[in-house]
Structure 1
Amino acid sequence: MLGLFLLYVWAGPTQAQTLNAWQLEEARDLAAIGEQAAEKGHPVMLLFTRLRGGGAATLKEEAILPVVENGLLDGYAVMLEVTLNSGGEVIDFYGEPVSKQTLADWYNITKYPTLITLDPSGEEISERMETAGAYVYVPHRIQKMVNQGLAAMGQSKRLSF
């Protein structure tokens, strides 16, 4: 019994720190990301969110971060976040700085959170996920979006979990 307690004390905080450290990388330079995606033959996924708005934080914690942080997208897609009301600019797929709101306007993002799949040049290539519905289905929806993107890019590989 003491052994289990000591294991909990030793492993518990480490696990909590790991979960708290899980973050979705904020989009900064989409031109560079697009070049890397073209070399690797995989799509780019952008999650558009707002600070303190909608269910974005819960969606990320409950459904998206476990997929990303467990490496389920590795070799198939890269996912980045665009937080609209956090200030700053993003380098677009053409190498030009634009506001995050301008980027959202280009993709006609009107609901938050919204996840889109793009080819390496920035063209939308699959159905999108606007809001989320039941979080238990989000990994399946991500898998479907990635596979639609891979098919649109002429790739034969498919994501399966």
Structure 2
Amino acid sequence: MKSFSSALLALTLITLSFLIQAAPLNTPKVFDWSLEASTASKGNKPIMVVFSSDRCNYCDLLNQQVLNPLLKSGDLANRVHLREFKIDRSGKVVDFDGDPIRSHIFVSRYHIYATPTVLLLDQNGNILGEPIVGFNNPVTYKILLDKTIQQAQSMSHISVEKIVTSLQ
């Protein structure tokens, strides 16, 4: 009877692990980075890309404990153009220059080696600041994210000023 109870408990735990829902990031899927860049440019915002994977528990925790609450509050939407990109996705996407690019090449361009990784990009796909790799706890992550966004916004502002100055 004891082995039956143990087997039943193990089966229940396995079943529950399949039923637990991941916490998806509440943003549209990206197929065209040039379109995303155009949208971000209109709002004068950097593009925040969350590189994640389907079986990444830390990605789910990041979404659930930090990003989705910040999206719901409006804090992120007012500061960045947020999109998620699954590194294990196959096929092609449209790159920032409008040309098609394989998903794995897009990921390798930014040297993504772990998930979650958050990058802030300008409208040409250039990195603004240091990436945030991994997830530890929501309090320190929010502080780090805020600093990274501020840094990206200041770098983005400098880039716009250089372009305007060079056109004069």
Tell me if both proteins adopt one fold, taking TM over 0.5 as the criterion: yes
Q: For the residues of structure 2 that align with 1:139 and 1:67, how far apart are their CA atoms?
A: 9
**The one of 63, 69, 72 aligned to 1:60:** 63
**The one of 136, 143, 147 aligned to 2:146:** 143
Residue 54 of structure 1 deviates from its aligned partner by: 4.7
Give the structure 1 partner of residue 36 of structure 2.
33
Larger Rg: 2
Q: For the residues of structure 1 that align with 2:25 and 2:115, how far apart are their CA atoms?
A: 20
Any unmatched runs of 5+ in structure 1?
A: 1-19, 156-161
Give the structure 1 partner of residue 110 of structure 2.
107
Misfit runs of 4+, over 3 Å: none
Q: For the residues of structure 2 that align with 1:21 and 1:58, how far apart are their CA atoms?
A: 10
TM-score normalized by the length of structure 2: 0.73
Residue 114 of structure 1 deviates from its aligned partner by: 0.2
Correspondence 1:111-130 to 2 at 5 A:
111-130=114-133
Aligned length: 136
- Does the alignment pair 1:50 with 2:69? no
Closer/same/farther in 2, CA of residues 132 and 97 from structure 1, 3 Å limit: same
Listed one character per residue, the Cα deviations across residues 36-94 of structure 1 (whole Å, up to 9, x for unaligned) are: 22222110010001111351112111111111222112232111000122334321101
Q: For the residues of structure 2 that align with 1:24 and 1:46, how far apart are their CA atoms?
A: 11
Give the structure 2 partner of residue 23 of structure 1.
26
Give the structure 2 partner of residue 71 of structure 1.
74
TM-score normalized by the length of structure 1: 0.76
Listed one character per residue, the Cα deviations across residues 102-135 of structure 1 (whole Å, up to 9, x for unaligned) are: 1110001111110000011110011111002222
Give the alignment's Cα RMSD to 1 decimal: 1.9
Whether the 8 Å contact between 1:50 and 1:84 is mirrored in structure 2 is yes
